[in-house]
Amino acid sequence: MDAYSKPPLRVLHVVRQYPPSVGGLEEYVRQLVERQSGSSRVTVLTLDRMFGTSRRLKKVQRVNRSIVVRVPYVGFSRFFIPLLSPKFLRRYDIIHLHSLDQFTDLISIYRRLGVPPLIVTSHGLFFHTHKFDKLKNFYFRTISRVTLSQAKKIFAVSRNDQSRLQEIGIRSEVLLNPVEPFPWLYAGGRNLIYWGRIAENKSVDRLIPFFAHLMRADCTRKLFIVGPGTASDEDRLNNKIRAAKLTDSIHRLGYLDCPELQALIKDCGFTVSASQYEGYGLVQVEGMSAGLLPVMQKNSAFQEIFERSATGLLLDFTDAAISAERFLQWEKTQNIQDRERARRFALGCAWPPAAARIQTTYQDAIASET
């Protein structure tokens, strides 16, 4: 580095869970980190245990060109207190906080102690289920409002997140979740696939009676359910598949790496999700990039994808019979042009423009401090 060149930007990403944990939030941060690591010195700060396990992960680990630092915490997945000193945070030029949780709350307090500027990406905030709604809303309107007021910039991943933030007087800019597109994989298949976490708010069990009705019209069709979950969530789902006598038609798989997932997608025609709540719907857009059509529970995030892409189908999976009937009628009207339109939409959500916008925001936030 010569005397006139600037040193690389020191960026700290803060996210409560990170690989080996698997999920949309983890994948978003991982992909952003990989893109930034070529020009910046990137560190990821996360917790030292995956939720639901007691095994502690390495405190410091190099992953490709970035460093992962893991800190201990007390509490549980819905409320935790990370054991973190502001001295560590002062090593960086910018801190990018992902989602709204106690990491974000604590670091916003440390902002008053001289830590660098903060950028926040909403990732659906914390309204993923209706549990503790009154407490969540109180927390959001009090503590979260103060927390977010310390950020230089807030990116909302959907119009729904932006509207929620407006309700408490917090301004944000919409920056839709970018995706790493798949190649075109559709090969005429009619199977359905869900991939993602197996968790309560995902309502994966509602896919079982829906699929049972589809089987009456075509007993050769298959449903693939791919992704990790806690032991109790796994047992509950597997028991419901057995009770429905669909073990030969519903294939339950755990985590798959990218080549394995792509091989499975080639046998499918549709992504399917009965999720009650989504921050955005990253998986659905990824599936669209491969030529699959999304079949989605009617929630605010999926409604936004449906309107912006002009493809897919919105259903209410609480009524399995009607949902199955609507799907079968809609399926007859779909053609290759619909799939090509879905892919064009997904390719328009790719990473390069989003990463450039984030990088410009970092520079503006740092410049405003001087």
Let me know: does 61 contact 67? Beta carbons within 8 Å: yes
Tens place of pLDDT for every residue, the chain, 370 residues?
555 567 899 999 999 999 998 888 898 999 999 999 999 999 999 999 998 888 999 999 999 999 999 999 998 888 899 999 999 999 999 999 999 999 999 999 999 899 999 999 999 887 655 566 788 888 899 999 999 999 999 999 988 899 999 999 999 999 988 988 999 999 999 999 999 888 888 999 999 999 999 999 989 999 999 998 888 888 999 999 999 999 999 999 988 989 999 999 999 999 999 998 777 788 999 999 999 999 999 998 899 999 999 999 999 999 999 999 999 999 999 999 999 999 999 998 889 989 999 999 999 999 998 7
Sheet holding 250-253, edge to edge: 250-253, 223-226, 191-195, 268-273, 293-297, 313-315
Which pTM does this prediction carry? Answer: 0.82
Q: Is 186 domain-assigned?
A: no
pLDDT at 53: 86
pLDDT at 127: 60
Q: Do 170 and 228 have their domain in common?
A: no
CA pair distance 108, 85, nearest whole angstrom: 13
Q: Is 2 domain-assigned?
A: no
Q: Do 57 and 173 have their domain in common?
A: yes
Q: Do 17 and 156 have their domain in common?
A: yes
pLDDT at 132: 66
The DSSP letter of residue 357 is H
Q: Is 3 domain-assigned?
A: no
Q: Is 4 domain-assigned?
A: no
Q: Do 224 and 252 have their domain in common?
A: yes
Q: Do 150 and 268 have their domain in common?
A: no
Question: What CATH number has the domain bearing residue 28?
Answer: 3.40.50.2000
Q: Is 15 domain-assigned?
A: yes
Q: Do 117 and 211 have their domain in common?
A: no
pLDDT at 307: 93
Q: Do 196 and 69 have their domain in common?
A: no
CA pair distance 167, 145, nearest whole angstrom: 10
Q: Do 254 and 213 have their domain in common?
A: yes
pLDDT at 73: 95
Q: Do 156 and 77 have their domain in common?
A: yes
**19 preceded by a cis bond (ω within 30 of 0):** no
Q: How many domains does the chain have?
A: 2
Helices (H), the chain: 24-36, 86-89, 102-110, 133-139, 145-148, 159-167, 207-217, 231-243, 258-265, 282-289, 300-309, 320-331, 336-347, 351-367
Q: Is 36 domain-assigned?
A: yes
Q: Do 195 and 100 have their domain in common?
A: no
Q: Is 1 domain-assigned?
A: no
Sheet holding 60-63, edge to edge: 60-63, 66-71, 41-47, 10-14, 94-98, 118-121, 153-156, 173-174
pLDDT at 201: 80
Q: Do 111 and 220 have their domain in common?
A: no
Kindly report the backbone phi and psi dihedral angles of residue 354, in degrees, each rounded to the nearest multiple of 5, phi listed first.
-65, -45
Range of the domain at 210: 191-347
Q: Do 140 and 211 have their domain in common?
A: no
Q: Is 185 domain-assigned?
A: no
